[in-house]
Amino acid sequence: MKKVVFVLMSLFLSQLTWGKTNVDSLIAVMDKSAGEEKVDILLKIGQYYCQNQTKKAIGYTNQALALSKEIDYNNGEFGAYNTLAITYERMHEYEEALKNYQMALALAEQVEDINARARIFNNIGNAYDLLEEHDKATKNYYLGLENLDTTETQLHVMLHLNLGAAYGDVNQYDSTLLYFKRALEIARQPGFENDNLLLLLMANLAELYSLIGDKSEALNKASEAKDMLSQELNNYTHAAVMHIYAGINLKYKKYKEAEKALYQVIELADELNNNNFKITALERMAILHKEQGRYEEAIGFYEVYIQVKDSNISVEKNKRIAELEAKYEAERKQNEIDQLKKEKALNDLAISKLRVRNTLFVGVVIITVVIIFFIFRGYRLKKRTNKKLTKMNAALKNTKYDLEKSIILKDNLIKVIGHDLRGPIGSISGFAQLLATGKWDKEPEPIKKYSKLIYQISDSALTLLTNILYWAKLQQGEYSAEKQIFNSLEVTQLAIQPYMGIANDKKISVQLNINNAAVAYGDKFAFSIIMGNLVNNALKFTPKGGVIRIMQVQQNNGVTFSVADTGIGLEKDIANALFSDSQFISSKGTENETGTGFGLKICKKFVDINNGKIWYENNPDFGATFFFHFPYQKKS
């Protein structure tokens, strides 16, 4: 639901703020202007660049802010803070955006726009929505309605849309439908001149009906929006309406209407250079042809979908890197400015002292000579001390900057690796699944066999990728445990279920020695990841016909679980690196399965956040046993 409404919000924002600004002509007249006129020009340039060149946007907008403060221009200062907030929001720096929105809100009552407070409350709600803090978002949208002069119908419509979206984010679809209908009533009143927004609203309402299962209303509203399209409306509206119309018709098996609409969406997406529309349309084309049994065409669309998706991921990644560089460059320049201000203050102080000394020298020669001697001596000492302090401060700043940069690069490297690998691996999995589930009555049997092998390999790779992403989150402290009492047998059965196919293939007996009523205390999700990884690890290194035993033992201070196998055991050099963050050693299982050690490192992290411990006992002749311990809940 949030995605639908944000499509509208982005369009609405662009219509209100940037329009078709001729930025080159603005830059040409900027240097010739002064005062409030220059502030307004700087703001227009900043708003223009906010769309795709955030570094320039921040530079021009900061100039406007500084000049507004200098000439006491409230409208300019308000506009600058609002533009900075929108720019940081586009850079995904939502906390920084909120700070600037709050500064704009403090100035809202001093500007000429009577709806200034309502606009800022709407923007603050949008930022909290992007942070997924929906209660705060809803509160600000209500504040926007309370501060709104309802003669501004477009903002009135947008606030109702955002309220509906916020309720949709928490699955309160009755409230979503109520506010969407109110928005539509306002948009249909005489004098509402934004037909693009009206049609997008109708299409989104159709999608909401589809979401809540009202087939008749969904199809009717989608068709009504489609029939109202005209040449006067922009291509974005055409693409968005046909995109929703196609999705609803595909959902309800109206393939002819869906296919025709999807071709139009692809054509419009190319004209708009909008890969998001194109990616979804291509994916739906592949699904449509597959459901109709047109497998070769489905494969063709799926291949194009993967190419466009991978290209879009690369563009988004480069854009994000540019945004981060802009942010760090701005911070670096601000630090340089602050340093120059400090040096200027010191220089001014030194000049002032020098003037006093010269005056005293003219008045009283002998006393001045004595004073000069001591001042000069103190000055030399102070200069040497300041020089040493400056060098030390510079060294500390460089060290801190290098450390922060190394940490950020290390953590982001893992995330980038994860996301760059997930696309291709997911593509292999989807393509292989499509081959494995197709109708190949006239084809050789090995096709199905090899397709199944490809699917299994890619699924294993996805498991490894998932472990890498978990590890990255744990390294950055982005995971918080939600501890509770749970039935350990039930959770264990669910955790090992995905690996029972491997056990059956290798004819390995997995024995669960856990009482039906047994319980444990801790984070249930963390427990599932730990148990699943240990069983998966045991299956890799246990030969065909082996046995894996899972046990639970109640103790005075908690519960201990063990996973024992009759496998090949652990070599000494591998055993020493099992739980180390700095060492990664690959090894092969009994059937040449790949083992990277990531699973055990993740187990260690999840055990740590549950205040437990993990260890192992190794016997090369009889296999290995891994233990992990969860303590009982502390009494308050």
Q: What is the pLDDT of residues 408-421, one digit of tens each?
A: 535 544 654 554 45
Radius of gyration of the chain (CA): 32
pLDDT digits (tens, 9 = 90+) for 302-352: 998 898 888 766 555 555 555 555 555 656 666 666 676 677 777 777 777
- Please, which pLDDT band fits residue 471 given cuts at 50, 70 and 90? low
Residue 551: phi and psi, rounded to 5, are: -130, 155
- Please, which pLDDT band fits residue 455 given cuts at 50, 70 and 90? low
- Please, which pLDDT band fits residue 512 given cuts at 50, 70 and 90? very high
Instruction: Please indicate whether residue 169 or residue 597 has the higher confidence score (pLDDT).
Output: 169
Residue 257, both tokens: 């209407």
Cα-Cα-Cα-Cα torsion 493, 496, 499, 504, nearest 10 degrees, comes to -50
What pLDDT score does 7 carry?
41
Locus of tokens 């998932």? 466
Instruction: Please indicate whether residue 31 or residue 433 has the higher confidence score (pLDDT).
Output: 31
Question: Residue 584: pLDDT above 50?
Answer: yes
Least confident of 178-182, 189-193, 269-273, 463-467: 463-467
What pLDDT score does 421 carry?
55
What pLDDT score does 100 carry?
93
Residue 560: phi and psi, rounded to 5, are: -115, 130
Burial class (CB in 10 A: 0-12, 13-18, 19+), 452: middle
Q: Which stretches within 438-523 are classed as H helix?
A: 446-475, 488-496, 500-505
* Residue type, position 32, single letter: K
Could you tell me if residue 110 is left (phi over 0), alpha (psi between -120 and 50 degrees) or otherwise beta? alpha
What pLDDT score does 54 carry?
85
Residue 402, both tokens: 């290098």
Give the single-character DSSP code of 568. -
Average pLDDT value for residue range 58-86: 92
- Contacts of residue 607, Cβ cutoff 8 Å, sequence gap at least 6: 526, 530, 613, 614, 628, 629
Average pLDDT value for residue range 58-80: 91
Average pLDDT value for residue range 255-272: 91
Least confident of 241-250, 272-281, 537-546, 589-598: 589-598
Give the single-character DSSP code of 517. T
- Please, which pLDDT band fits residue 508 given cuts at 50, 70 and 90? very high
What pLDDT score does 148 carry?
86
Average pLDDT value for residue range 158-178: 88
Least confident of 45-54, 299-308, 357-366: 357-366
Helix (H, G, I), strand (E, B) or coil at 410: helix
User: E strands of 479-589, at which residues?
Assistant: 483-487, 509-513, 519-523, 547-555, 558-565, 587-588
Helix (H, G, I), strand (E, B) or coil at 613: strand
Average pLDDT value for residue range 530-549: 93
What pLDDT score does 283 carry?
92
- Provide the terminal-to-terminal Cα distance of the chain, rounded to the nearest Å: 41
CA pair distance 409, 431, nearest whole angstrom: 33
What pLDDT score does 331 carry?
60
What pLDDT score does 342 carry?
76
Residue 216: half-sphere exposure toward Cβ, Cα within 13 Å: 0
Burial class (CB in 10 A: 0-12, 13-18, 19+), 105: buried
Residue 140, both tokens: 């600000």
* Residue type, position 73, single letter: Y
What pLDDT score does 593 carry?
78
Least confident of 59-68, 294-303, 461-470: 461-470
Say if strands 547-555 and 509-513 run parallel, antiparallel, or are unpaired: parallel
Range with the largest mean pLDDT of 276-280, 436-440, 477-481: 276-280
Locus of tokens 């201990």? 560
Locus of tokens 């033992």? 553
Write out the H or E segment, with its range, that includes residue 588: strand 587-588
What pLDDT score does 183 carry?
87
Locus of tokens 């109202």? 228
Whether the Cβ atoms of residue 84 and residue 100 lie closer than 8 Å to each other: yes
Instruction: Give me the helix-helix angle, 35-49 and 74-90, nearest 10°.
Output: 10
pLDDT > 90 in the chain, percent? 32
Average pLDDT value for residue range 130-144: 91
Question: Residue 204: pLDDT above 90?
Answer: no
Least confident of 17-26, 292-301, 620-629: 17-26
Helix (H, G, I), strand (E, B) or coil at 579: coil
What pLDDT score does 571 carry?
76
Instruction: Please indicate whether residue 292 or residue 385 has the higher confidence score (pLDDT).
Output: 292
Least confident of 292-296, 528-532, 578-582: 578-582
Whether the Cβ atoms of residue 4 and residue 179 lie closer than 8 Å to each other: no
- Please, which pLDDT band fits residue 375 given cuts at 50, 70 and 90? confident
Question: Residue 561: pLDDT above 90?
Answer: yes
CA pair distance 471, 102, nearest whole angstrom: 36
Mean pLDDT of the chain: 81
Range with the largest mean pLDDT of 132-136, 148-152, 366-370, 435-439: 132-136
CA pair distance 349, 345, nearest whole angstrom: 6
Residue 301, both tokens: 């669309």
- Please, which pLDDT band fits residue 19 given cuts at 50, 70 and 90? very low
- Please, which pLDDT band fits residue 477 given cuts at 50, 70 and 90? confident
Burial class (CB in 10 A: 0-12, 13-18, 19+), 253: exposed
Least confident of 263-277, 358-372, 465-479: 465-479
- Numbers of helices and strands, H then E, in the chain: 23, 9
Neighbouring-strand partners of residue 588 = 594
* Residue type, position 90, single letter: R
pLDDT digits (tens, 9 = 90+) for 112-121: 777 888 889 9
Residue 327, both tokens: 């942010």
